[in-house]
Structure 1
Amino acid sequence: MLVSNVSLSGCAEFNSALCAGAGEGHLGGGSYRTTLSPTGHLVVAVCLGFIGTFGLVNNLLVLVLFCRYKMLRSPINLLLMNISISDLLVCVLGTPFSFAASTQGRWLIGDGGCVWYGFANSLCGIVSLISLAVLSYERYSTMMTPAEADSSNYRKISLGIVLSWAYSLLWTVPPLFGWSHYGPEGPGTTCSVDWTAKTANNISYIICLFVFCLIVPFMVIVFCYGKLLYAIKQIFPVSRDASHFFLHFSGM
């Protein structure tokens, strides 16, 4: 009883929407409790402020350079622009809200804002990861089949960009319609997919998200760059032997 009263009194400092299920110890099907002190929230706010500002300035600079200098508008750089745009959207649509929440020690924009925050950040994060996988595959295919590579093939790269957003939407929209859900996480100043609920509905989504949005793109990246490293190792000994032969032949 004492623990319950303490939890409820601590919850009074937070948004009422977040505390609706405090008496039962659940929020949207998952356990929830505040774990940060005011000092902890301040430290998080400072870190988020730095990360958000640096990310905003850095990605804006990349986009400005891409738009200003025509020589940078190559197909491969389109993928880099896609990553910069997704990161920039996180800095604009996500970080300011978590920063403000951390300064106040509570979520500030209600349940709808929490769902939007979780969806937008998940969408952009998966887009960045899938874009990195597409980038690694493009480098791999260019290296392994140079005769078929076409540096002006914007259609192939544009298709990869569209697929990265479509694939991300495929896995971030389901929580909006009942397959798991978006809600508060950690100290209650950020929102994401509910990682803690033990229902079959939630666990099945988490497993699929982990496999198809982390393991699969990660394995693609490892495979492609692993093949590239292997190919480079096969080339270097030949180049070294050729240089020794040239030096010996030239009498040096």
Structure 2
Amino acid sequence: MGAFEIGLFSLLLNIWLVSAFLQSPLLNTIRSHLLILNLCVSCLARIILAGFPFSGTSAIAGRWVFGDSCCQLFGFMKQLLGVLQIVALALVAFERYLVSRRQVKELPFTFYIFGIIFCWIFALLCSIPPLFKIGSYRCDVIGAACDFDWRMTNKYQILFNIAIIIFAGIIPTFIIFWCFWKANDRNVREKQTYAQKRLTKTMIIVTTGFFLLWLPQAIHIFWVITGLAWSPRIFPVPLAVLSPLCTEATALIPVLTYLAYDERIRVALLNMVPPFKESRPFVR
């Protein structure tokens, strides 16, 4: 039931967050928030289309219960939205770096639009090939969900899996940490508005939370690539259970972090709940 509880809580919180962005004029007029909204939409979509409604039900049944076609579609959506999340974080980090370097409040509107379009196109390019037998989607070890098949079974799958690891894993991770390191360093050494510094620190915390919760999945992928996952004597079954739960929980990170650290977003969120409305102005 853990998957259902985490998934349902994540769903409600992300609907709350996306609604706040769409309804608050002082949030949806700040261009940097377009990138945050893109990340939130990817989290919400992953919960609904590749999350607890399917994996939770299958976990209770002890097997995948939605058939082969749905397994392929579920795996496709999970891969698409998973890649989208890490690329969206890389785009946020790159934008924070450029803003701090140029000492501006925001970049040209075209940067945000083309950046978001690139994220979705790149995620599609990483998730469509397995539908055409370049790579594959299959049930995981415990049979509760369908996922990208990380086993190295033929030369095409080996090449595609290595490409995914490099272009959808290593490179975005390097961009994220390098850009946030540079952005935070500039914020410390140079003058920048309080709101920009706060947004950068908030996104660093969000990113750290994502990577910590992605760690079990990364270990799981390593086990599969090395072939250890298919040996019951070697593979730790709790890791197979923990990995999807942590992945599901990543959707909680943005909302909880914004509530705690970003005043503008917190005010917008609380203004959605009449008993907790705040009258303090936003800080631009």
**Conserved in 1, the CA contact under 8 Å of 2:99 and 2:107?**
no
Once the two structures are superposed, residues 133-184 of structure 1 have per-residue CA deviations (whole angstroms, 9 ceiling, x without a partner) of 01111010011012xx463733211111110000111111111112111111
Secondary structure of the 2:151 match is coil
Confirm or deny that 1:137 pairs with 2:77. no
Structure 2 gaps, min length 5 = 192-284
Cα distance in 1 for residues equivalent to 2:185 and 2:106: 23
Match of 1:82 among 23, 28, 38: 38
Cα distance in 2 for residues equivalent to 1:106 and 1:152: 48
Q: CA 1:76/1:234 → structure 2, altered by over 3 Å: closer, same or farther? A: closer
Question: Which residue of the partner structure matches residue 117 of structure 1?
Answer: 74
Q: Which amino acid aligns with 2:165?
A: F
Aligned length: 189
**Conserved in 1, the CA contact under 8 Å of 2:75 and 2:138?**
yes
Secondary structure of the 1:62 match is helix
Alpha-carbon distance, 1:233 to partner: 4.8
Confirm or deny that 1:52 pairs with 2:7. yes
Question: Which residue of the partner structure matches residue 168 of structure 1?
Answer: 123
Q: Give the alignment's TM-score, normalised by structure 1.
A: 0.71
Question: Which residue of the partner structure matches residue 172 of structure 2?
Answer: 217
Cα distance in 2 for residues equivalent to 1:219 and 1:138: 15
Alpha-carbon distance, 1:228 to partner: 2.1
Match of 2:49 among 73, 80, 93: 93
Cα distance in 2 for residues equivalent to 1:185 and 1:178: 18
Confirm or deny that 1:154 pairs with 2:129. no
Alpha-carbon distance, 1:231 to partner: 2.6
Alpha-carbon distance, 1:47 to partner: 2.0
Alpha-carbon distance, 1:235 to partner: 4.6
Secondary structure of the 1:203 match is helix
Match of 2:63 among 103, 106, 109: 106
Alpha-carbon distance, 1:232 to partner: 4.1
Question: Which residue of the partner structure matches residue 143 of structure 2?
Answer: 188
Cα distance in 2 for residues equivalent to 1:56 and 1:181: 28
Alpha-carbon distance, 1:229 to partner: 3.3
Cα distance in 1 for residues equivalent to 2:162 and 2:106: 38
Identical pairs, percent: 28
Q: Which amino acid aligns with 1:133?
A: A
Output aligned runs, 1:233-244, within 5 Å. 233-235=188-190
Cα distance in 1 for residues equivalent to 2:107 and 2:180: 23
Q: Which amino acid aligns with 2:82?
A: G
Cα distance in 2 for residues equivalent to 1:231 and 1:163: 27
Structure 1 gaps, min length 5 = 1-45, 237-252
**Aligned-pair RMSD on alpha carbons?**
1.6
